[in-house]
Amino acid sequence: MSDKEFETIPDESVTPPVVVKESANKGKLIGIIIAVVVLLALVIFSLVSLFRADLTTTSKVRDIFIIIMALESLLLGVALIILIIQIAVLINVLKNEIKPILDTTNETINHLRGTTTFLSNNLVEPVIKMNEYTAGLKRFVDILKPSGKSRKSK
């Protein structure tokens, strides 16, 4: 066998993955900070534009925001109703399907516990005692045997 057969393959991952994660997290953090700054600048620009605009433009923007807020509250109400329905379905599943399964499993475990106790008392213990008696009898016969060779020398 040559030395080349036992060469180890060098580990190519020189930098630990934690460093890669840390730099990726820094990139995400910088991106989030930039997005927040841009959003804040847009909000400030919009407010300044609304303060300088005439009364009709401001009232139109106000009405549009009121409509958007009404639609948002309607959407949140629908989402809340769906959430309540899903919770009711989950409670129904837990009561009517999971609980009977758990009860059946508990009953099966109790039967299994009884079966193992029965087998231990009526099968395993007598076999172990029989093996003890047989080993003792065999040793007794070996001791009484007139031949010079005993089982110890084997």
Residue 4 placed within a domain: no
Residue span of the structural domain in which 72 resides:
28-144
Residue 103 placed within a domain: yes
Residue 105 placed within a domain: yes
Which position has the higher pLDDT, 151 or 31? 31
How large is the angle between the packed helices 17-52 and 55-93, nearest 10 degrees? 140
* Average confidence (pLDDT) over 28-38: 95
HSE on the CB side for 138, CA within 13 Å?
Answer: 8
What's residue 134's pLDDT?
95
Residue 128 placed within a domain: yes
Residue 2 placed within a domain: no
pLDDT at 19 over 80: no
The answer to which of 63-67, 82-86, 133-137, 144-148 has the lowest mean pLDDT is 144-148
Q: pTM (2 decimals)?
A: 0.44
What's residue 114's pLDDT?
93
What's residue 81's pLDDT?
98
- The one-letter amino acid at 21: K
What's residue 58's pLDDT?
84
**Chain segment 97-122, per-residue pLDDT in tens:** 988 899 999 999 999 999 999 988 88
Residue 53 CA to residue 58 CA, distance in Å, equals: 7
Structurally, how many domains does the chain consist of? 1
Contact assessment for residue 50 and residue 61, using Cβ atoms and an 8 Å cutoff? yes
pLDDT at 146 over 90: no
**Chain segment 39-67, per-residue pLDDT in tens:** 999 999 988 888 888 888 888 888 999 99
What's residue 25's pLDDT?
86
Residue 154 placed within a domain: no
Residue 14 placed within a domain: no
Residue 7 placed within a domain: no
